[in-house]
Structure 1
Amino acid sequence: MGSDPLNITLTRSIITPTALLRLAIGWGGFLLLSLTGHLLGSTLPAWLLLLCLLGIILVILICSFGVVHGAEQLARRMGDPYGSLVLTLSIVLIEVILISAVMLGPGEHSSIAKDSVMAVSMIILNLVIGLSLLVGGIKHGTMAVNRTGTSSYLVMLGVLLMLAFALPGLIGEAGSYTTAQRIPLVLLTLGLYAFFLYRQMGAQAPDFTELQPTGNAAGDGAEKSEPRTPIAQILREHRKEISLRLGLLVLTVLPIVLLSHDMASLLDLSLERVGAPVALSGILIAMIVFLPESITSVRAALAGEIQRVSNLCHGALVSTVGLTIPAVLVIGSLTDQRVILAESAANLTLLAVTMLVTVAGFGAKKLTAIHGAAHLALFVVYGLVVFS
């Protein structure tokens, strides 16, 4: 009985009035859209269509800030890489569910995975990382990353992005893997990703923690990883708090998932009326869906936590490619749909240069604002490619 007041205090500190308001707005918006969704269509006046679209985006953004807050609290309690992984997998699952829902819906969507994952790659590797390095570099001057952990992300990305975008155009048919090629590619991708997670959360977890100066007299910049409490001990000591925060995070993420599909439909209608490129829809969806991770990354950079930026951004992209590509290949096989993955020469060139700039930057002893500016320039080039 003596612990009840403590439990009540803990619950109230997590389930705050602000958190309840976000849930009410998110689920209320979904309920309203469920009741009126049949009225949204091509016959809707342009101004009303835009108003509905902005309303959905506003609700998604409100819920996104709730996701950011909850994930940050979890990250502080659990420590990296576990805390960052919670946010990363939450957002990536939204992306996978969205793409899967579109593929299982009516119409032809053979290139939805390619367009979405390419947009996510450019947004994460260039826009989010570029902005994070720029603001972090301006505030802190130079920042040191845990190069062993970041190198693990980058070698994974090199293999996964090659399997996703380059290999289908070389060994597949019309940019799509053949039926015989899909099964080994799915097993290889999932197996590699599962092994990566196993090592990241186990023996190599220290490789993904922030570096701290050793304070040696030589001043040679030698650094060491932060000491960390074993995750089993953290889960045991703070089980109730972590369970409550995880539950609240899931309840806040779900409205984003449920509303994003309708947002995608309205975006397609709006872009069709103004004659914008089809790929722009995937870019806008990716920017909104990954907003929580983007905000958290910029905040981490401002706090000088550059390894957390890498965990959030590079980790998110590894998870996106490692989960999305197998999912769409399996769905394509089950529904007898073509899944076009091979990218254009322009996008492959841009992706290759992006990876070279990333390796050169994160392989250095220190990261600066110049690295961020280079990544942002590449994102501008991506915009030019989309509209060309």
Structure 2
Amino acid sequence: MIAKARSQALQWTTLAPALAFVLLAATWGRSLPTALVVLVALFLAAAVLAAVHHAEVIAHRVGEPFGSLVLAVAVTIIEVALIVTLMADGSEKNATLARDTVFAAVMITCNGIVGLCILVGALRHRVAVFNAEGTGAAFSAIATLATLSMVLPTFTTSKPGPQFSTTQLVFAATASLIVYGLFVGTLTVRHRDYFLPLTAEGKVLDADDHAEPPTAKAAWMSLALLGLALVAVVGLAKGVSPTIERVVADAGLPASVVGVVIAMMVLLPETIAAVRSAARDRMQTSLNLAHGSALASIGLTIPAVAVASVWLSGPLVLGLDATHMILLALSIAVGTLTVMPGRATPLQGGVHLAIMAAFLVLAVSP
């Protein structure tokens, strides 16, 4: 028993989060030279892979859709902390950081992750099958919150610029929390069966494969290591963010690219987990991860920055520009058509990836 415990402690999935956290503690608040940035990037990647492993252990123990919710909420909470930390200096360049990061998260999840998962699942299993009722409910919540939080500020007139007044910001934050709370209740209690994986014949798969689920002790250990890994991922990402900002500025790219890079790094664990689920013909699990992450990103970030704006000295710009509003409208229209049949082919996956590619191109060259 002692030998088994010692062997488990020496596994890379245990060592990677611990070592990444030690590196985070050693480099926190310091200016990193190029060699150290490379080392941080390597440990960041290892922590991401370890986070995916531990998220899958937890998901196997608690079952769907709880497993997807754990990873989505954990990543988003730490993402919010990162955004608020970066905005704390009150500089003008960070006024749009929350908007850029949240919008990038919505585009990455609803087009990048969804498109990639549909493409992988449909190519491997001919057609990707999911529950249109649960997926449609999640996607309608995403469309509503994205519009209320990031489109309306562009057209309001109480405050100059694409910003909410205090009353409007309180409304957007409250609406985000309520809608997200309703989604969690629907996902986990009232209509849990809408979010369970389906077979090609439309039968619900409640069990996760046929493997024996991990013990409660192993699940709690994975939960602790998942938290440690995610703290390390976001902390190390913050450590390399000055380098990212410098590279973006030196390349003459828009400042919004920083938000895109942060969102891509933070969402990497969900992306890997979602694609692996799609390859195992569990498309509903993939969509739960993607849409759950998008909803958590809006539903938790907007209230958090609303509260933080009380003491943050800089402005809070949430309104999207015309180009991004067109991409959001296209994403909502295409996403609705993808969800409605409950089945998708590689064509739908390719269309979503085309929208994602357009977002990345326009982020670099607006």
TM-score norm. by structure 2 comes to 0.91
Residue 159 of structure 1 and its aligned partner are, at CA, apart by 1.0
| Corresponding residue to 1:309 among 256, 269, 286 | 286
Residue 266 of structure 1 and its aligned partner are, at CA, apart by 1.5
User: Which residue in 1 is equivalent to 2:234?
Assistant: 257
Q: Where do 1:1-388 residues align within 5 Å? A: 5=1, 15-34=9-28, 38-40=30-32, 48-49=33-34, 51-108=35-92, 109-172=94-157, 173=159, 174-212=161-199, 221=201, 223-227=202-206, 238-386=215-363, 387-388=365-366
8 Å CA contact 1:210–1:305 kept in 2: the answer is yes
Residue 353 of structure 1 and its aligned partner are, at CA, apart by 0.5
Distance, in Å, in 1 between the alignment partners of 2:225 and 2:116 is 29
Residue 383 of structure 1 and its aligned partner are, at CA, apart by 2.1
Distance, in Å, in 1 between the alignment partners of 2:132 and 2:271 is 21
8 Å CA contact 2:68–2:285 kept in 1: the answer is yes
Aligned residue identity for 2:319: A
Distance, in Å, in 1 between the alignment partners of 2:271 and 2:107 is 13
Residue 196 of structure 1 and its aligned partner are, at CA, apart by 1.8
Structure 1 pair 13–196 and aligned structure 2 pair: CA distance change class (3 A):
farther
SS of structure 1 residue aligned to 2:344: coil
Structure 1 pair 206–39 and aligned structure 2 pair: CA distance change class (3 A):
closer
Residue 275 of structure 1 and its aligned partner are, at CA, apart by 1.7
Distance, in Å, in 2 between the alignment partners of 1:39 and 1:323 is 30
8 Å CA contact 1:141–1:368 kept in 2: the answer is yes
8 Å CA contact 1:14–1:245 kept in 2: the answer is no
Residue 304 of structure 1 and its aligned partner are, at CA, apart by 0.8
SS of structure 2 residue aligned to 1:32: helix
Deviations 1:8-41 (Å, cap 9, x if unpaired)? 688567544213321343023213313xx5444x
Distance, in Å, in 1 between the alignment partners of 2:304 and 2:52 is 26
User: Which residue in 2 is equivalent to 1:217?
Assistant: none
Aligned residue identity for 1:200: L
Distance, in Å, in 1 between the alignment partners of 2:207 and 2:15 is 35
Aligned residue identity for 1:93: I
Q: Which contiguous aligned blocks of 4+ residues in structure 1 show a shift greater than 4 angstroms? A: 8-14
Deviations 1:333-353 (Å, cap 9, x if unpaired)? 333542111101111011111
Count of aligned pairs? 359
Distance, in Å, in 2 between the alignment partners of 1:155 and 1:126 is 15
TM-score norm. by structure 1 comes to 0.86
Residue 372 of structure 1 and its aligned partner are, at CA, apart by 0.8
| Unaligned stretches of 5+ residues in structure 2 | none
Residue 80 of structure 1 and its aligned partner are, at CA, apart by 0.6
8 Å CA contact 1:179–1:333 kept in 2: the answer is no
Distance, in Å, in 2 between the alignment partners of 1:316 and 1:159 is 15
Aligned residue identity for 2:25: L
Distance, in Å, in 1 between the alignment partners of 2:103 and 2:119 is 23
8 Å CA contact 2:97–2:256 kept in 1: the answer is no
Distance, in Å, in 2 between the alignment partners of 1:227 and 1:65 is 26
8 Å CA contact 1:135–1:302 kept in 2: the answer is yes
8 Å CA contact 2:96–2:317 kept in 1: the answer is yes
Aligned residue identity for 1:117: V
Structure 1 pair 13–364 and aligned structure 2 pair: CA distance change class (3 A):
farther
SS of structure 2 residue aligned to 1:226: coil
Distance, in Å, in 2 between the alignment partners of 1:244 and 1:20 is 9
Structure 1 pair 148–104 and aligned structure 2 pair: CA distance change class (3 A):
same
Q: Larger C-alpha radius of gyration, 1 or 2?
A: 1
SS of structure 1 residue aligned to 2:199: strand
Residue 260 of structure 1 and its aligned partner are, at CA, apart by 1.8
8 Å CA contact 2:130–2:342 kept in 1: the answer is yes
Structure 1 pair 294–334 and aligned structure 2 pair: CA distance change class (3 A):
same
SS of structure 2 residue aligned to 1:58: helix
User: Which residue in 2 is equivalent to 1:43?
Assistant: none
8 Å CA contact 1:14–1:244 kept in 2: the answer is no
